[in-house]
Structure 1
Amino acid sequence: MPAITRRSFLSAGSGIALAVLSGARAEAGVAGTAADGPSRPRIRTRDEWDAVAPKSKAIVLDTPPDRIVIHHTATANTTDLSLDAAYRLSRAIQRYHMRHNRWADIGEQLTVSRGGHIMEGRNRTLPAISRGGNVVGAQAAGHNRHTLGIETEGTYTAELPPPAQLASLTTLLAWLCSTYRLDPEVAIIGHRDLNKTACPGDRFYAYLPELRAGVARKLGRRRPPEDEPPDGEPPDPDETDDAPEDR
């Protein structure tokens, strides 16, 4: 598995608005969704991809994220779309984050492989989501207490993720937006919207409006007018020591 590399470029922009927490949630390990929302997609747990034990347990927040941050791993665009390849990817990311970055665990909350396999990332993520909360990750420096990060395997500076990956990502985002009562037009952002980075790649970043629209369609929502004003003012982000280097 190639090393996970990071490449920094100047970019800016960030808009933050707090989401409203939905009502009662299911027990740990069971999806928490709006009554009429999409069900949880198949998410492979840390036990399934054989994660090593974290150096410390993730901090669990009772508050939901207000932004879902899309990343790319900046690794090779492999043609191996198998589940085994997806498991190897998660193990490779975790090794890199824990050994090279010296973090307590894998940084992101969720990962989507090029084959469309969805995997739990940071420890305690799925139980936290099932209760309408989140865990503090290490995927968006200065913004880890109010965001949830999704890694998409590959490098998308000049091409888009393959169809299976985009389909799984769209389904995952629809479930998360339903669970957290988030507006996909506002909540789904790219890593470069928060930090100085090229992530998630120029081609993929340009596709985000279409991704948001696809999620909105799954939720049965129409796309708002182009001139609709943004909702709310950005809060002061909480800092965390467990923050990533730029990619």
Structure 2
Amino acid sequence: MTAALSVSIVSRADWGAAKPVKRTTLKGPAQMVIIHHTAVAKCQSLQECKDQLVSIQSYHMKSRSFDDIGYNFLVGGDGTLFEGRGWGVVGAHARGHNENSLGIAFMGNYNDDELSPEAISSVKKLLQFGVSKNFLEEKYVLKGHKDLGQTECPGNNLYAALPQLRNTC
């Protein structure tokens, strides 16, 4: 008998998220995963990551006029996963591609920071879980943000690691 696939995610309530202005539901499972970095200092502790999340959400909502934090999920350098908008919700992370995608941001600046094996492993598990629960198409396409627009995101070090996240299911 196979154990049920599960993944541990710090909820919005647990990191202190503000209530979103509105939430728009995806029309079906996400067809694409878009990988980002937050381009700020890598957080080193759970509390530091939570504080950073509150700051990112505030910036997205107040300065960028987003309805909520832009990403569906975020991952700390130690591999801790955090709920952003969550599963099945349209994000605000890649203009023109939000209606059919899942946005995952690695917390840090991956032009400079090195990627941890724990962060890669956690995102792999998140993707496998998403497919197993039909939140994500089995044959999803995985892209770096810079594949879809003029940006350095997700940083050269993270972009080089994208093959490790492809075809994880």
Name the TM-score, length of structure 2 as normaliser: 0.88
Select the residue among 40, 52, 75 that pairs with 1:75. Answer: 40
Correspondence for 2:51 = 88
Question: Percent of counterpart pairs with the same letter?
Answer: 37
Q: What's 2:77 paired with?
A: 114
Gap regions ≥5 residues in structure 1: 1-35, 220-247
SS at match of 1:61: coil
1:77, CA displacement in angstroms?
2.9
**How many pairs does the alignment contain?**
166
Query: Of residues 6, 17, 38 in structure 2, which corresponds to 1:51?
Result: 17
**Uncovered stretches (5+) of structure 2, i.e. residues with no partner:** none
CA–CA distance in structure 2, aligned partners of residues 83 and 76 of structure 1: 14
Aligned to 2:96: 142
Residue 167 of structure 1 aligns with an amino acid whose one-letter code is S
> Looking at CA atoms only, which structure, 1 or 2, has the larger radius of gyration?
1
Coordinate RMSD, CA, aligned: 1.9
Partners of 1:115 and 1:95 lie apart in 2 by 23
How far, CA to CA, are the matches of 2:80 and 2:164 in structure 1? Answer: 21
1:196 to 129, 150, 153: 150
The structure richer in strand per residue is 2
Deviation at 1:92, TM superposition (A): 1.2
DSSP-derived class of the 1:150 partner: strand
C-alpha offsets along residues 140-198 of structure 1, whole Å, 9 cap, x if unaligned? Answer: 00111011100100111244312222221221122223333423xx5221111111111
Shift of 1:91: 0.7
Distance, in Å, in 1 between the alignment partners of 2:114 and 2:29 is: 29
Note if contact 1:38-1:174 (Cα within 8 Å) is conserved in structure 2. Answer: no
Distance 1:207 1:37, change over 3 A: farther
- Where has structure 1 moved over 4 Å in runs of 4 or more? none
Distance in 1 between residues matched to 2:137 and 2:63, nearest whole Å: 36
Q: Is the 8 A contact 2:26 2:100 kept in 1?
A: no
Q: SS at 1:48's partner residue?
A: helix
The one of 157, 160, 167 aligned to 1:206: 160
Distance 1:211 1:38, change over 3 A: farther
The one-character-per-residue Cα deviations of 1:64-118 (angstroms, maximum 9, x if unpaired) are 110011101111134x2x2212211211110110111121111111111112111
Q: Give the match's secondary structure for 2:143.
A: strand
Q: Does the Cα contact within 8 Å between 2:35 and 2:145 map onto a contact in 1? A: yes
- Counterpart residue number, 1:156: 110
1:65 maps to: 30
CA–CA separation in structure 1 for the residues paired with 2:84 and 2:74: 6
